[in-house]
Every structure is written in C-alpha cells, then in structure tokens.
Amino acid sequence: MRLLGNILWLILGGLFLSLGWAIVGLILCVTIIGIPLGVQAFKMAELTLTPFGKTVIYNGGVGSTLLNIVWFVLVGVWMALGYVAAGLANCITIIGIPFGIQSFKMAKLALWPFGADIVAVR
C-alpha cells in the first residue's frame, strides 16, 4: 500500500514539490549562514518525495528549540498553513484522506524542522 500511495503522490505533484524544496535547499546552502536552513529544506524534500511509510521523530535539544523559534517566526507558520490548507482540501473526499494525512505530517515538519529525524516505519 505504501508503494501505491507514494507512486500516486509522485504523479499528483509530490515530485514537483520535492524538486522545489531541493532547489530552495541548494540556494540556501550558497551562504554559510543559510546552510542550516538549507539542510532543513533538504529534509522537507526527502519527506515530500515519498511520505508514505515514513514518520517524523523529534529529539532536539535547546539549540534546536532556539533555531525552531526563529524558523517558526520567519517561514514556518506560512509553510505549515499551506500544508494544512492542502491537507484539508485533500480530506474533502474519502480517497484523498490518506494524502491529507501526509500533508498534515509535512505541516508539522514545516513548522518545527530542527531536531527532527525522518525514519521509515517498519
């Protein structure tokens, strides 16, 4: 089921979203100051590419919390709102509910990415 979900996700726009995140990550990594933000963009690209069968685990410390606060204020809220809107739109139909759940997972990561690890569900 994960494979089918990921294939449908890629066909319906996941590939383009993931490519967008990867391009943003590359642009952010041009400067030394942007590298930590670029790493988070690559993390979003990884989850956006194949979200089915993956989960996000948070295990950051004080440094991650401080960086997450800055991220939250600068871009996190707006990105998370976009993913929540996409998730709600997907959940209008029964067929779209699994895709909506994945959008909500990405909204949480977009809101608070530092200290988060993406792991495969076994």
Residue pLDDT, tens place only, 2-32: 899 889 888 888 898 899 899 989 998 999 9
Predicted TM-score of the model (pTM): 0.84
Domain ranges of the chain: 2-120
pLDDT given at position 30: 95
> Measured between alpha carbons, how far is residue 122 from residues 2, 3, 13, 55 in Å?
11, 14, 25, 10
Q: Which helix (H) or strand (E) element contains residue 54?
A: strand 54-58
In this prediction, residues 24-49 reach a mean pLDDT of 91
Cβ atoms within 10 Å, residue 20: 14
pLDDT in tens, 49-99: 999 999 999 887 888 899 999 889 888 899 899 899 999 999 999 999 999
